[in-house]
Amino acid sequence: MPEARVERLAERLAAVPGLALTAGAPLSRLTTLRIGGPAELLAEISSEPALVRLLGEAHAAGVPFHLLGLGSNVLVPDAGLEGVIGRLTGALKRVRIRGRRVSAGAGAALGQVARRAAKAGLAGLEALAGFPSTVGGAVHMNAGSYGAEIQDVLVSARVVELDGTRRRLPTAALEPAYRSTILKRTGAIVTRALFELSPGDARALNARIDELNAKRWASLPSGVPNAGSIFKNPPGDHAGRLLEACGMKGASEGGARVSDKHANVIVNAGGATAADVLALMLRMRDAVAARFDVVLEPEIVLLGGLGRAQFARPTAPAAPGPPA
Ligand X SMILES: Cc1cc2nc3c(=O)[nH]c(=O)nc-3n(C[C@H](O)[C@H](O)[C@H](O)COP(=O)(O)OP(=O)(O)OC[C@H]3O[C@@H](n4cnc5c(N)ncnc54)[C@H](O)[C@@H]3O)c2cc1C
Active site residues: 179, 229, 299
* Residue 174 sits in the site that holds ligand X (CB under 6 A): no
Which residues, in sequence order, are bridge partners of residue 98? Answer: 101
Cβ distance to ligand X smaller for residue 199 or 217: 217
Mask of contacts with ligand X, 89-108, x by CB under 6 A?
A: -----------------x--
Stretch that binds ligand X, among 40-48, 50-58, 63-71, 287-295 (CB under 6 A): 63-71
Residue type, 65: F
Tell whether residue 269 is a contact of ligand X (CB under 6 A).
no
Give residues 231-260 in contact with ligand X (rule: CB under 6 A): none
**d(Cα 208, Cα 215) in Å, to the nearest integer?**
11
Using CB under 6 A as the binding criterion, the count of chain residues that bind ligand X stands at 32
Binding map of ligand X across residues 114-153, x = CB under 6 A, - = no contact: -----------------xxxx-xxx-xx-xxx--------
Q: Do 69 and 111 touch, CB atoms closer than 8 A?
A: no
Of 45 and 205, which has the nearer Cβ to ligand X?
A: 45
Interface mask (CB under 6 A) for ligand X, residues 22-61, using x and -? ----------x-----------------------------
Provide the minimum distance between the beta carbon of 260 and ligand X in the complex, in angstroms, as a whole number: 15
Please report the sign of the dihedral spanned by the C-alpha atoms of residue 249, residue 255, residue 256, residue 262.
positive
- Residue type (1 letter), 86: G
Residue 282 class from Cβ within 10 Å (0-12 exposed, 13-18 middle, 19+ buried)? Answer: middle
**Which one of residues 6, 41, 63, 74 is an interface residue with ligand X (CB under 6 A)?**
74
In the chain, the amino acid numbered 74 is V
Q: Can you give the length of the chain in residues?
A: 324
Q: Which amino acid is at 184?
A: K
Half-sphere exposure of residue 53, counting CA atoms within 13 Å on the CB side? 17
Tell whether residue 228 is a contact of ligand X (CB under 6 A). yes
Identified binder of ligand X from the candidate list 67, 113, 258, 277, rule CB under 6 A:
67
Q: Kind and range of the H or E element at 52?
A: helix 48-61
Nearer to ligand X, 177 or 319 (CB): 177
Element (H, E) at 148: strand 148-149
Report the alpha-carbon angle 69-70-74, nearest 5: 80
Is there binding between residue 264 and ligand X (CB under 6 A)?
no
Strand 154-160 versus strand 95-98 pairing type: unpaired
Residues that bind ligand X (CB under 6 A): 32, 66-74, 88, 106, 131-134, 136-138, 140-141, 143-145, 183, 189-190, 220, 226-228, 301
